[in-house]
Structure 1
Amino acid sequence: MKLKINKVFLPELIGKGYGKFWRFKGRYRVCKGSRGSKKSKTTALWFIFNIIKYPKANLLVVRKTERTLKDSCYTDLKWAMNKLGVAHLFKCTLSPLEITYIPTGQKILFRGLDDPLKITSITVEHGSLCWVWIEEAYELMDEKSFDMLDESIRGEVDDGLFKQITITFNPWDCHHWLKARFFDVEDDDILAMTTNYMCNEWLDEADKKVFERMKVQNPKRYLVAGLGEWGVSEGLIFENWRIEKIDDSVKKEVGAHEIFGLDYGYTQDPTALFVGVINLEKRKLYVCDEMYEKKLSNERIAENIKAKGYQHKMIVADSAEPKSNNRLRVLGITNLRGSKKGKDSIRSGIDFLQDFEIIIDPRCTNFIKEISNYAWDEDKFGNKINKPIDDFNHLMDAMRYACEPYMHIGLFSFD
């Protein structure tokens, strides 16, 4: 096959901030960064460029769940092909989700860690499976899942190739195992770096103003989402929580009740569904499942709830959205009820929940991100006040709604 050669000047194409990232050939290349730091786009460019450069290299792209790959890494890699002017050399398919470099048959494969067998048994027909890209790695709360993946990249590789795992993520939680594993050690086989929006030359003034406003209005969030620093735990509202695999046996415990809460969002904020089990006798709250997605119409919300099998469960939803509540009932969410907020309902709900041990299933990654960052607000002098920040609160609010019927047994009523 005769190839059309495109000449590109990489520093001009990629921009600043990623020179060491681009050149590193050690085993672990780890980049935590803020939003807008171009870490995912740069990673996608590197893989497309080097799939062409190394004719026997193959790539495995991984996220916590397989369904999230199409609208993230797969789309970024297609963008990179167009940016480099080589899209005509690749075949992209959705079923199965994969990309093939046509001249050599090299593969870019996509898998989710929600099906470990698909990871451990993966093989390629041409060359070596030598590269892995783990995107949004903060979703992997279980270090053993990473070890399993790491161990699957083994054996000899063709001459000139090198085995490497690239890890990209937003650093929401300073207690995450990624910090101790890669950032708190000295190892020549690890490149651990931090980037932020200030190395992204292609952000326009409107984009930059978002971060500048955040810097003034929400400095805690700015440290993570703006500067790419680790999320800090100072002033957290909930501290008595842990991550543990949960099975259906918790529903059968004496004193256990299934609970469901729904908080609405759309453009800026996600719609959040909390699914849990509360045990009043043991003072335990189990976080079993979640929905967390922006730009969902009421019809899509109903579809998602039905897909999870919760359409006939009692769901306590935000009473500030009566039209949405009525619409969901019409769409078949038969037992949805508005929350009973009242004066100081947020504070009283927090007081109630602080008396529980909260056990979180590791698949509830958005809940973990929120509870790791849900903190008391501060006054202009930096003093903590008796009010939570207006951030990281969508599943926190949904959890509070879900628990409302059990906060005042015998006194509670729905509108």
Structure 2
Amino acid sequence: MLNAVKLTDIIAPSFYEVHHAVKQDTATHFLLGGGRGSTKSSFTPTEIVLGMISDPNANALALRKVKDTLRESVYESFVWAIEKLGLAHLFDMPASTLRITYKPTGQRIIFRGADNPIKIKSLRLRKGFFKFVWYEEADEFSVEDIRSINQTALRGGDGYKVFYTYNPPKSRKRWVHEYRNNPPASWFVHHSTYLGVPREWLGEQFFIEAETLRQRNELAYRHEYLGEDVGTGGEVFKNLTLRRISDDEIAKFDRIKRGLDFGFAAHPTHYGVMHYDATRRRLYIFYELHKVGMSNRALDNSIKAENKSNARVTADSAEPRTISELRNLGLNIAGAKKGPDSVDHGIKFLQDLDEIIIDPIRCPNTAREFDGYELEPDGNGGWKEGYPDRDNHSIDAVRYAMESEIRGPAISF
């Protein structure tokens, strides 16, 4: 029955590579971002249904952050996929229950909202395992939500496929931005738009609406239809480049600066190493130490392991006792000379650089904090004054490291 259906009539050309990656088992996690009409939310249930009928032990778990949104989104998407594949007679899809069963084997597609994580932890199957998991609007989930759910669902089998579909959020604080720019091992990242979908699938009116928005508000069009990361307008650092910094580049760096922000309680200590190209006004950040609960001796050993020449480290002067102890251990360390507006001066200096280049592989926490650092909204469409004092450990360490450049001849840092 399935042979009578051409997959090219259901899967858009832009998803052929993802289909092959799923089929060839080249990844476990599939991060599928895109704009409106990209068909990512119809591709995913199609792929899951195909996988289930080829493996009699495979079940699926489909999730939304809020339970009330399940029926009109992921459930209807599965119904659509099953009908398009010509398999409706083989699936039990009761309108009154959020559950779909494959009649020949009893395999199930189960739907859950993550607003009640206890129920997810208690999930049990009579047969088989959850081979497929789908997070729709994945940016609404936290990394902790996903980790907990995956730990519950991904057990008792193999060949798992986890799909994360989302429209790029404006806020860069969402985890999908970090994973898209720096995907972990076993992750497949894909971006799609309506421009890769056959025109007749979406209908002429869809394209008319898209073009109308493009002409009226290009930024909104790029975000909604092209799925671009256009930001909220509250991003502090708009001069970032996240890319690999090669060993050859690092070998030529000759203006190395080191900064240290002390941690406390649950807050991490952050040590950063960077090179400043003053001629081109470029800052290269290529080494970090980011850890909670470090003793002063362990911190000293870790810094000396990187800083073999014991060059100067500039640290947060609010911790004179810690600086004194590290100095007694032999570390070449001094406190930053803070002034009344040191935070503003430091951040504005960094904002004015032509480019801040961060290696997201060597410095994942630095990349995350700089990329996600945003002003606080004031609730009226604007922004609160001042810079938020959170998730900025690496930013503080960079400010301390760059104090001699920031202070200049007139500014008291």
Q: TM-score, normalised by structure 2?
A: 0.54
Query: How big is each residue's C-alpha offset from its partner over 1:229-279, in whole Å with a ceiling of 9 and x where there is no partner?
Result: 124133689xxxxxxxxxxxxxxxxxxxxxxxxxxxxxxxxxxxxxxxxxx
SS of match in other structure, 2:188: strand
1:171 aligns to 2:168 (yes or no): yes
**Contact 1:171/1:229 (CA < 8 Å) preserved in 2?**
yes
Q: Distance in 2 between matches of 1:104 and 1:57?
A: 10
- For residue 187 of structure 1, report the CA deviation from its aligned partner: 4.0
Normalized per residue, the structure richer in helix is 2
Which runs of structure 2 are paired with 1:123-202 in the superposition (5 Å)?
Answer: 123-140=124-141, 142-157=142-157, 161-201=158-198, 202=201
Secondary structure at the counterpart of residue 169 of structure 2: coil
Bigger Cα Rg: 2
Identity %: 29
Aligned ranges for residues 216-365 of structure 1 at < 5 Å? Answer: 216-234=215-233, 350=380, 354=384
Given that residues 5 and 86 in structure 2 are in contact (C-alpha distance below 8 angstroms), is that contact kept between their aligned partners in structure 1?
Answer: no
Counterpart of 1:284 in structure 2 is: none
Cα displacement (A) at 1:209: 1.5
Q: Which amino acid aligns with 2:62?
A: V
Contact 1:33/1:169 (8 A) holds in 2: yes
Q: Which blocks of at least 5 consecutive residues in structure 1 are unaligned?
A: 238-347, 359-415
1:221 and 1:180, CA in 2 relative to 1: closer, same or farther beyond 3 A? closer
Question: Which secondary structure state, in structure 2, belongs to the residue aligned with residue 46 of structure 1?
Answer: helix
In the TM superposition, residue 80 of structure 1 has moved relative to its aligned partner by 0.9
Residue ranges of structure 2 left out of the alignment (5+ in a row): 237-377, 389-413
Q: Are 1:40 and 2:41 matched, yes or no? A: yes
Whole-Å Cα distance in 1 between the matches of residues 135 and 221 of structure 2?
24
- Residues 120/181 of structure 1: CA separation in 2 closer, same or farther (3 Å cut): farther
Work out the CA distance in 1 between the residues paired with 2:386 and 2:183.
39
Report what 2:118 is aligned to.
117
Task: Supply the distance in 1 between the matched residues of 2:130 and 2:381 (Cα, whole angstroms).
Answer: 51
Paired residues of 2:82 and 2:88 also in contact (CA < 8 A): yes
Contact 2:59-2:128 at 8 Å conserved across structures: yes
Aligned to 1:79: 80
Does the CA contact (< 8 Å) of 1:123 and 1:129 recur in 2? no
For the residue of structure 1 that corresponds to 2:104, the secondary structure is coil
SS in 2 for 1:123: coil
User: Does structure 2 conserve the Cα–Cα contact (< 8 Å) formed by 1:6 and 1:85?
Assistant: no
Taking a change above 3 Å as real, the CA distance of residues 350 and 53 of structure 1, as seen in their structure-2 partners, is same
The whole-number CA distance in structure 1 between the counterparts of 2:235 and 2:178 is 24
Matching residue of 1:243:
none
Q: C-alpha deviations, 1:4-41, integer Å up to 9, x for none?
A: 55522212332310012212232210101101111101
The 3 A distance-change label for structure 1 pair 176 and 93 is farther
1:16 equivalent in alignment to 2:19 = no
Which amino acid in structure 2 is aligned with residue 196 of structure 1?
A: T
Is the Cα contact below 8 Å between 1:143 and 1:177 reproduced in 2? no
